[in-house]
A and B are shown apart, each in its own frame.
Chain A
Amino acid sequence: MTDQILDEPDIRALIARAVADEPAYDMAPVDALDAAVAAGRRRRVRGQASRGLALVAVAATVAGGVALVRVPSAPTAPNLVAGSGSVVGRVDAPPSVVPSASGATRLPSPIPSLPNPTAVPAVSPNASGAVTPVVTPTPAPTGSGSVEPTPPPPADPLLLSHLEALVRSLAATAHGTIVTMNHDQFPAMLGTREYIQTDVNAHVTTASGAFDLDASANRLDAFDVTTWRSNCSPATGDLKPCTVVGTSTYDVMASSDMGANPGQAGRMTFQYVAAAPDGSTLDVNFENYTEQPGHLKNVGPSWKAAGLDYAALRAAARANTLLR
């Protein structure tokens, strides 16, 4: 058991030591670059072929009156779309089609069939002249380990509204103004199981500076009330990176004082964790710094100065039906 708080410099040092025993490469550098170049060339060719196939499909669609085509996602352009925070595939679509969230593309308007007087129709058109839609087969994915094209499922809107209301009420308690508010979705892991976590966070300014509030709730996080209470209770005699400010059966508020770090005087954050009525765990995080170049931090008001104490958090969580 250590008697030191593992602070950011310690984590940096530990990580640096962890990669210090870097083994020799499996593949010699020159061979690796040659292989990458060769594979990259094949990938470019495949990408061009895929786009060519898509254009052929569109052309065939126009000629044959097809209503729906699917354009393969470009295998060479993995991307993270900012804003949503979700991992999505990037769809390279011809300019004449409109991509949808799922990657399927629809022609902007129904294309009238163009009768070809010289061709023998394979299927006789019906009396109304309607054309049976034909869906072109989707080419098999070409990229190994390509980015998932499917966006994460939408979070429960009711939960999101409760989280957002919670953040707004806490900002109001601190007499602050919300400058930005974001809903971020991102993959999180519990063991080897992946789930999508949604955070609602707000950047709040007050007369004495700025701080960030972040709230999330999920069913899978193992870092629950009991764990936080245990982590931050000085029962074993060692120094703790956090202290319990207030707790009950179903919630705990833990404060971390980072003010001893160089250039971070006054930095005091909290973590409020509560068991929600639906079985999920509410997690509210307060950070009162804005990062500057060179790891310097502009420190805003501490949670105490902002008036966000345990009673205020508990009341806000209960008011928004996020505390059992």
Chain B
Amino acid sequence: MSNPQENEFRSWAASARPRLRRTAFLLSGDWHLAEDLTQDTLVRIYAVWPRVSASGAPDSYAMRTLVNCQRATARRPWRREHVVDVLPDRMQPGSATDAGDERSVLLDALARIGGSQRTIVVLRYWEDLSVDDVASVLGLSAGTVKSQSARGLARLRELLRDELPQSVAAGRAPVPPLSPSETGETS
């Protein structure tokens, strides 16, 4: 790869990394794993950067690669079920009291809807992709994205309604000024 291409990749990667990491976190529920997924995505994209860059849609390709990386990681044997002596603590329904609990509840709910529904919910409601864009990223038809999106939301409602505190949903606290379009590194 030529120097200008490498510089172009570095520039793109520096801006895309925070967004990829946040999306990876919502897909995996773990910040450390999210960083691994992000790094793996960047490595894969570097290897084909001339082609990706020429396509004119590196962000879309990156999202597709990230989703594939996450799926591949989830399939690895050490990520599957394993026997433990003590069951992990789980929050009782309705016990969420602050933002941290709310976050736990949401991540737990996302983990429980799982699979493509989780990916579709994250891409539609965090990445703000349209139905057609999500369909393109996942290689599905728009109709399936709509139906899976509806089912995913229904499951989220079911899971969250009983576990979020009254104040969280009823109060509709203002959304912090954070969006995937932010490009600044935080460290």
Q: In whole Å, how far is B180's beta carbon from the nearest beta carbon of chain A?
A: 9
Q: Cβ of B178 and Cβ of A201 under 8 Å apart?
A: no
In the complex, whether A119 has a CB less than 8 A from a CB of chain B is no
Q: In whole Å, how far is B18's beta carbon from the nearest beta carbon of chain A?
A: 8
- Which residues of A sit under 8 angstroms from B107, Cβ to Cβ? 18
| A83-B126 in contact given A3-B166, A6-B160, A194-B115 (Cβ < 8 Å) | no
Per DSSP, are chain B's interface residues mostly helix, strand or loop, or mixed?
helix
Partner of B173 from the list A17, A78, A271 (CB cut-off 8 Å) is A17
Determine the distance from Cα of A5 to Cα of B185 in the docked complex, in whole angstroms.
35
Q: Cβ of A180 and Cβ of B139 under 8 Å apart?
A: no
In the complex, whether A81 has a CB less than 8 A from a CB of chain B is yes
In the complex, whether A285 has a CB less than 8 A from a CB of chain B is yes
In the complex, whether A39 has a CB less than 8 A from a CB of chain B is yes
Partner of B176 from the list A3, A16, A146 (CB cut-off 8 Å) is A16
Partner of A4 from the list B26, B138, B147, B169 (CB cut-off 8 Å) is B169
Q: Which of A5, A22, A146, A194 has the most CB of B within 10 A?
A: A22
User: Per-residue 0/1 for A74-85: is the Cβ within 8 Å of any B Cβ (1 yes, 0 no)?
Assistant: 011111111111
In the complex, whether B76 has a CB less than 8 A from a CB of chain A is yes
| A2-B32 in contact given A17-B176, A186-B140 (Cβ < 8 Å) | no
Q: Cβ of A188 and Cβ of B99 under 8 Å apart?
A: no
Q: Cβ of B139 and Cβ of A11 under 8 Å apart?
A: no
Interface locus among A25-33, A65-73, A127-135: A25-33
Interface, chain B (partner A; CB < 8 A):
1, 6, 9-10, 13-14, 17-18, 21-22, 25-26, 31-32, 35, 39-40, 42-49, 64-65, 67-69, 71-76, 79-81, 94, 99-100, 102-103, 106-107, 112-118, 121-122, 125-126, 130-132, 136-144, 146-148, 150-151, 153-158, 160-162, 164-166, 168-170, 172-173, 175-176, 178-179, 185-187
Instruction: Report the nearest B residue to A30, measured CB to CB.
Output: B14
Q: Which 8 residue pairs are nearest across A and B when measured between Cβ atoms?
A: A40-B46, A189-B114, A201-B143, A189-B115, A80-B139, A214-B147, A76-B47, A182-B141
- Which residues of A sit under 8 angstroms from B176, Cβ to Cβ? 16-17, 20
- Which residues of A sit under 8 angstroms from B126, Cβ to Cβ? 12, 15-16, 19
How many residues of chain A get a CB closer than 8 Å to chain B's CBs?
A: 94
Partner of B170 from the list A3, A17, A256 (CB cut-off 8 Å) is A3
Instruction: Report the nearest A residue to B152, measured CB to CB.
Output: A11
Determine the distance from Cα of A12 to Cα of B173 in the docked complex, in whole angstroms.
12
Determine the distance from Cα of A180 to Cα of B44 in the docked complex, in whole angstroms.
34
Instruction: Report the nearest B residue to A80, measured CB to CB.
Output: B139
Q: Cβ of A223 and Cβ of B161 under 8 Å apart?
A: no
Q: Cβ of A36 and Cβ of B46 under 8 Å apart?
A: yes
- Which residues of B sit under 8 angstroms from A285, Cβ to Cβ? 146-147, 150-151
User: Per-residue 0/1 for A238-273: is the Cβ within 8 Å of any B Cβ (1 yes, 0 no)?
Assistant: 100110000000000000100000000000010100
Determine the distance from Cα of A24 to Cα of B131 in the docked complex, in whole angstroms.
32
